[in-house]
């Protein structure tokens, strides 16, 4: 399945699927409308003469047109390359060259970036001409291992690395994960160039849900969006929830958070104290500790015997995924070690980096670099990064232990 065909999985294509708060007035858009724009953009790329497999970059903040490019490039058999707007110009130019972009789409705020790649600015005359054309009949047929997205991650050191995600990688994750989240109203405030926000959007669009899109995170806007649109699911990092709590305390009577049924905390270590703080903020919600990497998103699920999840556990092994913990020193499997993942959701590899691929991929197993422990009931808990370990008096010590 082409990832653009995830839009066709929506059981209610004419219903509102996107509430776009990036512009005034706020726009409400259906999946049918999104699909039409995606097919128009896909045909425009073909009309520009770009061959299949061409890399199409997007440098923009959160706005409704992001989805047009995100789905439209793969719909044309091309590769979508999201660019991090917070990177310095030197890093952006490196990515543009490394990915060999054939076209760069930007918003007004980032149109000044100078590169040798042809550029189209959203909202410009050229953009309007492209988006007033005829739509492609359908998304092109693809093979499972055809690259759909090339998303760059730098980790903690070195130059950005292009993670190659196939159509199968993405559709597997969305369809496996989305089945448990039908009809959610998802608040998306994280940047869409991050896999977290883009995956949440795909989940909502494919399952009959709704995305409430904020141009960026702001505690007041976050609370207002939940209240106005009866948001049922939101995600964020610990700092965000601390800011939301502080904002709520200024005027608690102005906001109603009772609609929120699911809260996902991710991208940073979670303590029980923080968990309790978030649970008090959303008393009606199921609060969970989230985990995922750019290279592989779906790892964990509920307990196979439906046992209650410990507060800061990441979950148990998902039934469609294989996990193992490997001792970084001996290579032996145990209940404490580096998490390795094997599934259809694991990346194809890093673009043009055979040595990095050899280090991080072994017979289909992705080495996450994250140290975890597994208890007797099968629950996994994050401990730290493997490369955070230091040796003291002959013992291996991790920051989390301290």
Residue 350 located in a structural domain? no
Residue ranges making up the domain that contains 29: 3-165
Per-residue confidence band for 101, with pLDDT thresholds at 50, 70 and 90: very high
Residue 63 located in a structural domain? yes
Q: CA distances (Å), 90 to each of 93, 95, 115, 164, 306, in order?
A: 5, 9, 11, 22, 49
Residue 111 located in a structural domain? yes
CATH number at residue 143: 3.40.50.12780
For residues 223 and 248, give the distance between their C-alpha atoms in angstroms, rounded to a whole number.
Answer: 8
For residues 22 and 122, give the distance between their C-alpha atoms in angstroms, rounded to a whole number.
Answer: 13
Residue 231 located in a structural domain? no
What is the pLDDT at residue 179?
63
Peptide bond into 393 cis (omega under 30): no
Residue 87 located in a structural domain? yes
Residue 284 located in a structural domain? no
Mean pLDDT of the chain: 93
Predicted confidence (pLDDT) at residue 151 exceeds the cutoff of 90: yes
Q: Is 129 exposed, middle or buried (0-12, 13-18, 19+ CB in 10 A)?
A: exposed
Residue 319 located in a structural domain? no
What 3-state class would DSSP assign to 250?
A: helix
Which pTM does this prediction carry? 0.94
Q: How many domains does the chain have?
A: 1
pLDDT tens across 316-367, in order?
999 999 999 999 889 999 999 999 999 999 999 999 999 999 999 999 999 9
């Amino acid at each position: 399945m082409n990832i653009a065909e995830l839009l066709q999985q929506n059981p209610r294509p004419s219903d509102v699927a996107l509430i776009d708060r990036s512009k005034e007035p706020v726009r409400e858009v259906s999946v049918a409308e999104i699909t039409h724009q995606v097919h128009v953009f896909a045909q425009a790329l073909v009309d520009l003469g770009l061959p299949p497999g061409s890399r199409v970059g997007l440098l923009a903040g959160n706005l409704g047109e992001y989805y047009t490019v995100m789905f439209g490039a793969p719909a044309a058999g091309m590769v979508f390359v999201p660019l991090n707007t917070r990177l310095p110009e030197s890093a952006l130019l490196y990515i543009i060259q490394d990915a060999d972009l054939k076209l760069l789409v930007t918003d007004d705020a980032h149109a000044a970036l100078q590169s040798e790649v042809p550029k189209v600015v959203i909202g410009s005359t050229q953009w309007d001409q492209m988006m007033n054309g005829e739509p492609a009949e359908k998304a092109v047929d693809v093979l499972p291992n055809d690259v759909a997205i090339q998303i760059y991650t730098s980790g903690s050191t070195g130059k950005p690395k292009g993670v190659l995600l196939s159509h199968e990688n993405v559709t597997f994750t969305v369809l496996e994960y989305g089945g448990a989240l039908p009809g959610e109203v998802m608040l998306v405030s994280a940047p869409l160039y991050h896999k977290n926000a883009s995956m949440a959007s795909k989940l909502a669009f494919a399952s009959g849900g709704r995305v409430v899109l904020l141009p960026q995170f702001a505690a007041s806007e976050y609370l207002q969006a939940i209240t106005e649109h009866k948001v049922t699911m939101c995600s964020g990092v610990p700092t965000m929830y601390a800011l939301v709590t502080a904002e709520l305390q200024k005027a608690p009577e102005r906001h109603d958070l009772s609609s929120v049924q699911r809260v996902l905390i991710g991208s940073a270590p979670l303590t029980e104290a923080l968990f309790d703080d978030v649970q008090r903020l959303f008393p009606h919600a199921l609060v969970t500790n989230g985990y995922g990497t750019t290279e592989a998103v779906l790892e964990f699920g509920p307990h196979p015997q439906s046992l209650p999840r410990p507060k800061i556990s990441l979950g148990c092994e998902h039934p469609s995924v294989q996990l193992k913990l490997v001792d970084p020193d001996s290579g032996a499997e145990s209940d404490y070690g580096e998490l390795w993942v094997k599934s259809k959701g694991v990346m194809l590899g890093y673009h043009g980096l055979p040595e990095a691929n050899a280090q991080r991929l072994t017979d289909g197993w992705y080495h996450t670099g994250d140290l975890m422990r597994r208890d007797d009931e099968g629950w996994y808990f994050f401990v730290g990064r493997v490369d955070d370990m230091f040796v003291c008096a002959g013992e291996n010590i991790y920051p989390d232990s301290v």
